[in-house]
Amino acid sequence: MRITGALLTAILSTWLLPDPAAAGDFPDRQIRIIVPFPAGGPNDIIARVVGQRMSEIIRQPVIIDNRSGQAGVLGTDLVAKAKPDGYTVAISSAGALAITSSLEKISYEPLKDLQPITLVAEVPEMLVVATSVPATNMKELIEFARAHPGKLNFASTGVGSMPHLAAELLKLTAKIDIVHVPYRGAAPAVTDMLGQQVQMVFLDLPVLLPQIKTGALRPIAIGARERAPTAMEVPTTAEVGMPDLLIQNWYGMVAPAGTPPDIVAALNRIATEAMGDPAVKEKLASQGATLVGDTPEHFRGFIQAETIKWASVIKDSGIQIEK
């Protein structure tokens, strides 16, 4: 069988054509950002604000797809199993990317099945106490806890959640005996704090701002590197003598593993440009979130460090998820 020159040229041209997904015209259609939590929460708000600006930059739709379940694992797993073409990504949480895998077997390996794009935002955890607790600062709180072992109950948003691990880290650091009371989310935890059923809790700063502004709950410290602009009166954990108590929830963009490097670079450029917009920064700062933006390599190292940190806390605290 003879192959004519024209046919050979056509065949070779087909073989040598670049992959459309990596051809430099990315993106040429809508991008889907999966948010593995319900609408209205911090993860969702951050994704919607950043996603809207990304859409304006690329002049393509960026849709938010809420897929909640299993503390963020369900939605993140959808991305791990998606086609690695850059059109399906997630803005996921610390829990789904660095914590849950140390508590139980999950359906993906974060740094094997996902490609880090950028750390998007950090939201500090604030420690507050009920007004019935006779402590106005960290020193007094620790002294009271040591004098009354097992008397103080601390709320969380569930076993293995960031608020739970934050309090466990405080227990280990301060060598105090306080009792864990898990809740199904921040709202019921705050309700019982206000009703004096539990005495202390770590929660994302935005959740607690209304209560500390009215004096319904008493702030002790914030687990951030710097004081929060929305709560400048609250000292950082470093300022109260506990620099290792750096506790921030965080949210980052990931794509499926195997996403081409030039697509990864394009997603990183688009996302970081969106996060650099002053209006985006201002809008999320009012929610207590600090936008970050870094390289895929730096974000990978950050996930690794956070995984090691919280795995150690989980092991030392003996935390287990009941089956």
Mean pLDDT calculated for residue range 107-120: 97
Whole-number pLDDT of residue 2? 45
pLDDT digits over 275-290, tens only? 999 999 999 988 889 9
pLDDT digits over 241-272, tens only? 999 999 999 999 999 999 999 999 999 999 99
Mean pLDDT calculated for residue range 229-234: 92
Contact 207, 162 (CB under 8 A): no
Residues of the chain with CATH 3.40.190.150: 26-123+248-317
CATH 3.40.190.10 assigned to domain 124-231? The reply is yes
Residues of the chain with CATH 3.40.190.10: 124-231
Q: Which of 3-12, 53-62, 197-206, 311-320 has the lowest mean pLDDT?
A: 3-12
Mean pLDDT calculated for residue range 293-322: 94
Q: Which of 6-20, 114-128, 132-146, 303-317 has the lowest mean pLDDT?
A: 6-20
Q: Which of 10-14, 84-88, 106-110 has the lowest mean pLDDT?
A: 10-14
Whole-number pLDDT of residue 12? 43
Mean pLDDT calculated for residue range 223-240: 93
Q: pTM (2 decimals)?
A: 0.86
- Topology at the third CATH level for domain 26-123+248-317: D-Maltodextrin-Binding Protein; domain 2 (3.40.190)
Given a cut of 90, whether residue 21 has pLDDT beyond it is: no
Whole-number pLDDT of residue 14? 43
pLDDT digits over 114-170, tens only? 999 999 999 999 999 999 999 999 999 999 999 999 999 999 988 999 999 999 999
Mean pLDDT of the chain: 91
Q: Which residues pair with 290 in a beta bridge?
A: 122
Whole-number pLDDT of residue 235? 97
